[in-house]
């Protein structure tokens, strides 16, 4: 029931949803509180490796592909009574628009079954989750896209990552939320197959075949007031690592403008059979911002302690303030700082148009197999416009550009990257 189909067009997903809904047709709330949304997403991706091809010996000199994706999200309400029952479904479909064997493997599309240099013409995946609600406690089992500090689904290409397992959320106490989860599989952003959970192996920090049977998480969220909230989570990837997270977010309006703060602390160590070897890592990251009218200026600081790089699940995003378009700045012993500027053109009478740029610089990196200090930097810029009215209302166009450089190209290749994303979100139920 919960396995992804090789091909799952939106109508098949809708059929599953309506079949479940039909059984509850008399149940007030099940259909009334249901929703069905579609995102049509067109993505052009170009990554130019500045070390070239022949000199580096690290593969292609460029990744360039263009694809169209559709993401269908179906959510039912709950049946009435002390125990409510519902069902959610996810359907995703991707189509190749342009790709060549020399420039494939961008992450937009899976490889063709007969040749890893060719991208598949199309691919699809589906996930269904059953859910039960008692009071303000909800238990979900099946496919989901968790958005939590220690397991945050990746949505950086055409279709997002899906995780599979069970998650319980309880909000029985005012301003307090309790979360408990066990995940045992994931479906990568450019794949249709369920895979065992594993550690992300960026820049060969960890071996790419370190798989685990399950990932467990427990956490608390507490809102002190409208301006201050805090989170604590603890998670374990079986026989590989244990991780603690503590974070706080705060805002303070001023007579002129306003201040914001986002502080995050993550501690990781090895557990059980320690299949990834000894893990000794602590990460502190924080961002302070000042906003005035349409302007916002932010400064961030991030520091890695210990002899290991930060471990996190493959298919997820690390919850660090300096996690950017290309890099995460989470290498062993790395320290990095960020300057960021955001502007909302609504202040100039152009609602829907936004801009941001940021620069992140990292140094003090412990490079595997070298005594030299590793250094790296990244510069990102984004323009985004969302149509506010008329025939094309809610259509958004986003242009993202990034430049990344380092002095240890053996592990991290220099690159220039451009992404153009056109998306349209609309409701069908």
Q: Which of 407, 412, 414 is closest to 204 using CA atoms? A: 412
Residue 216: how many other CB atoms lie within 10 Å: 16
- Two structure tokens written together for 111: 């490889």
CA distance 184 to 214: 4
Token pair, residue 184, equals 């045992």
> How far is residue 179's CA from residue 136's CA, in Å, rounded to a whole number?
12
Closest CA to 105 of 96, 93, 117: 117
Instruction: Report strand pairing: 228-237 vs 295-305.
Output: unpaired
Q: Give me the pLDDT at residue 116, please.
A: 78
Exposure b/e, 390-419, CB count within 10 A at least 16 = b: eeeeebbebebbbbbbbebebbbbbbbbeb
pLDDT at 372: 85
Domains along the chain with CATH numbers: 10-427 (2.40.160.10)
pLDDT at 23: 42
pLDDT tens string, the chain, 429 residues long: the values are 333 334 444 444 444 444 444 444 445 688 888 999 999 999 999 999 987 553 444 567 899 999 999 999 999 999 999 999 999 999 999 999 999 988 998 999 999 877 778 899 999 999 999 999 999 999 999 999 999 999 999 999 999 999 999 999 999 999 999 999 999 999 999 999 999 999 999 888 898 888 999 999 999 999 999 999 999 999 999 999 999 999 999 999 999 999 999 999 999 999 999 999 999 999 999 999 999 999 999 999 999 999 999 999 999 999 999 999 999 999 999 999 999 999 999 999 999 999 999 999 999 999 877 788 999 999 999 999 999 999 899 999 999 999 999 988 667 789 999 999 999 999 998
Write down the pLDDT at residue 408. Answer: 80
Residue 146's nearest CA partner among 79, 90, 63, 98 is: 90
pTM of model > 0.75: yes
Structure confidence at residue 54 (pLDDT): 38
Q: Which residues have C-beta within 8 Å of that of residue 72, sequence separation ≥ 6?
A: 10, 13, 14, 36, 37, 38, 89, 90, 91, 92
């Amino acid at each position: 029931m919960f396995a992804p189909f090789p091909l799952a067009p939106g109508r098949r997903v809708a059929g599953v949803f309506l079949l479940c809904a039909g059984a509850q047709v008399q149940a007030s709330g099940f259909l009334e509180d249901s929703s069905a949304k579609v995102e049509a997403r067109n993505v052009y991706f170009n990554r130019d490796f500045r070390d070239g091809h022949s000199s580096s010996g690290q593969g292609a000199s460029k990744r360039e592909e263009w694809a169209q994706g559709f993401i269908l999200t179906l959510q039912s309400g709950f049946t009435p009574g002390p125990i409510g029952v519902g069902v959610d479904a996810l359907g995703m479909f991707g189509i190749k628009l342009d790709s060549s064997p020399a420039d494939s493997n961008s992450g937009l599309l899976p490889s063709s079954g007969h040749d890893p240099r060719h991208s598949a013409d199309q691919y699809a995946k589906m996930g269904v989750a059953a859910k039960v609600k008692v009071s303000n406690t909800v238990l979900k089992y099946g496919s989901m896209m968790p958005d939590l500090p220690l397991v945050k689904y990746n949505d950086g290409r055409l279709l997002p990552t899906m995780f599979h397992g069970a998650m319980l959320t309880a909000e029985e106490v005012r301003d307090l939320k309790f979360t408990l989860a066990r995940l045992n599989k994931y479906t990568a952003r450019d794949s249709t197959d369920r895979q065992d959970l594993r550690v992300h192996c960026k820049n060969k920090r960890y071996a790419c075949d370190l798989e685990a049977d399950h990932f467990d998480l427990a956490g608390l969220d507490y809102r002190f007031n409208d301006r201050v909230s805090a989170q604590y989570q603890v998670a374990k990837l079986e026989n590989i690592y244990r991780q603690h997270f503590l974070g706080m977010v705060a805002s303070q309006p001023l007579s002129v403008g306003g201040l914001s703060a986002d502080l995050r602390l993550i501690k990781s160590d090895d557990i059980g059979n320690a299949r990834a070897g000894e893990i000794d890592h602590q990460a502190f990251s924080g961002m302070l911002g000042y906003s005035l009218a349409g302007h916002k200026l932010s400064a961030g600081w991030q520091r890695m302690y210990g002899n290991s790089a930060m471990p996190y699940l493959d298919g997820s995003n690390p919850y660090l303030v300096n996690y950017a378009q290309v890099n995460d700045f989470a290498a062993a012993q790395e320290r990095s700082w960020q300057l960021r500027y955001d502007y909302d053109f609504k202040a100039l009478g152009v609602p829907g148009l936004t801009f941001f740029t940021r620069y992140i610089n990292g140094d003090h990196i412990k490079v595997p197999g070298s005594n030299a200090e590793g250094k790296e930097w990244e510069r990102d810029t984004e323009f985004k416009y969302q149509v506010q009215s008329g025939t094309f209302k809610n259509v958004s166009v986003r242009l993202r550009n990034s430049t990344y450089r380092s002095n240890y190209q053996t592990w991290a290749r220099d690159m220039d990257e451009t992404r153009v994303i056109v998306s349209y979100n609309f409701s069908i139920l």
